[in-house]
Structure 1
Amino acid sequence: MNAADLDTALTPAATDAHEHGWVTESSHTTSEGRIVYVRCVTCDARRVDAVRPGLPPVAAAHVVSAAAATPARRHEITR
C-alpha cells in the first residue's frame, strides 16, 4: 500500500455512502476514560472511539474502509 492508497482508504467518501451502524468489537479502560474499537455492521469499516465519563463518544481516529483494514494490509496502515 502506498500513500495514495492510504489517502483513498481514509477519504470520508469511501466510507460515508450510508449511515454506519457501529458495534463494539473490543474496549479497554485508560487513565482518561475508555477506548472502544467499533465496526460498521453494513460495510465493515472500523473506527476507534474515546469515551469519557459523562460525555458522548468521540471518534479518536479516522474511519478506515474494510478493504484497507484487512489483516494482510493492516500492518501497512500503522506504519
Structure 2
Amino acid sequence: MTGSPATRSAPAPVIAHEHGWLVESAHRTSEGIVQYVRCAECGVRRVDIAAVPVVVPAAASREFG
C-alpha cells in the first residue's frame, strides 16, 4: 500500500438499518412454520420459525449475506 497514513482513506462505515423482512418461501414442520426471509433493502437473509401461525416469527438463524 502506498502513501502516508494521513493520505490513506479508511474503509466506508457499515450503515446499520432496520431490516424489512420479505418471506421468500415457507413450509410447515413439526416445530411450526419455517420461513425463509430476505431484507428488502440490503438482501441479507435469515430463517424464522413461528410456533403458532398467529405468533410473530422468531429468528432461528443468524443473518447471512
Q: TM-score, normalised by structure 1?
A: 0.59
Shift of 1:55: 2.6
Deviation string for 1:32-69 (max 9, x for gaps)? Answer: 2100000001000001000111432110000002xxxx
Question: 2:21 is matched by which residue type in structure 1?
Answer: W
Match for residue 61 of structure 2?
61
**Percentage identity across aligned positions?**
49
CA RMSD of aligned residues (A): 1.6
Letter in 1 for 2:64: V
Q: Which runs of 5+ in 2 are unaligned?
A: 1-13
Structure with the greater alpha carbon radius of gyration: 2
Alignment coverage as a number of residue pairs: 51
Residue 36 of structure 1 corresponds to 35
| Runs of 4+ residues over 6 Å off in structure 1 | none
* Higher relative contact order, structure no. (Cα contacts within 8 Å, ≥ 6 residues apart): 1
For structure 1, list consecutive stretches of 5 or more residues without a partner in the other structure: 1-13, 66-79
Corresponding position of 2:25: 26
Name the TM-score, length of structure 2 as normaliser: 0.71
